[in-house]
Amino acid sequence: MLSVKGRIKIKMNEQVISEKFKKREFVITDESSQYPQHVLFQLIQDKTSLIDQYKEGDEITVHFNLRGREWTSPTGEVKYFNSLEAWRIEAGQGAAAAPQAAGIEASQEDDLPF
């Protein structure tokens, strides 16, 4: 299983390629190395809505499969293409919830005189 963490840079609209195939692409920025990497992923078929609940700038973890294919042009030239096919997206760590004092509700803490 492959996965990468990053921030959503761009969410693109769903594309209907044919009656039997649709896809949606998005880019995340992985800043885990010296130079930020902008990585393009695709969601296909019933997975295209997985990115809907997230907005640009959100930190996410993307679980994906590496796909490769061979294509021969009409002139006989052979080319190879890779794609990163996302199949699960999880919210990133983000900001932790504010700590609360033991036994005191957050709304009560605001009423303390000190």
Q: Residue 57 domain-assigned?
A: yes
For residue 114, is it within any domain? no
Q: Is 95 left (phi over 0), alpha (psi -120 to 50) or beta?
A: beta
Burial per residue of 89-107, b for 16 or more beta-carbon CB atoms within 10 angstroms, e otherwise? beeeeeeeeeeeeeeeeee
Whether 73 is covered by a domain: the verdict is yes
The structure tokens listed for 90 are: 């999880």
Domain range holding 6? 2-93
- Which residues have CB under 8 Å from 82's CB, separation 6+? 66, 67, 68
* Separation in Å, CA 23 to CA 15, 53, 72, 97: 5, 17, 23, 35
pTM to 2 decimal places: 0.74
Is 18 domain-assigned? yes
- Overall number of domains in the chain: 1
In tens digits, the chain (114 residues) has pLDDT values of: 799 999 999 999 999 999 999 999 999 999 999 999 999 999 999 999 999 999 999 999 999 999 999 999 999 999 999 999 999 999 987 533 333 333 333 444 444 444
Query: Token pair of 82, please?
Result: 């890779």
Looking up residue 45, the CATH number of its domain turns out to be: 2.40.50.140
Residue 66 forms part of a structural domain: yes
Which residues have C-beta within 8 Å of that of residue 103, sequence separation ≥ 6? none
Asked whether residue 105 is assigned to any structural domain, the reply reads no
Domain assignment of residue 100, yes or no: no
Residue 53 belongs to some domain of the structure: yes
For residue 81 the two structure tokens come to 């293409």
CA pair distance 60, 54, nearest whole angstrom: 8
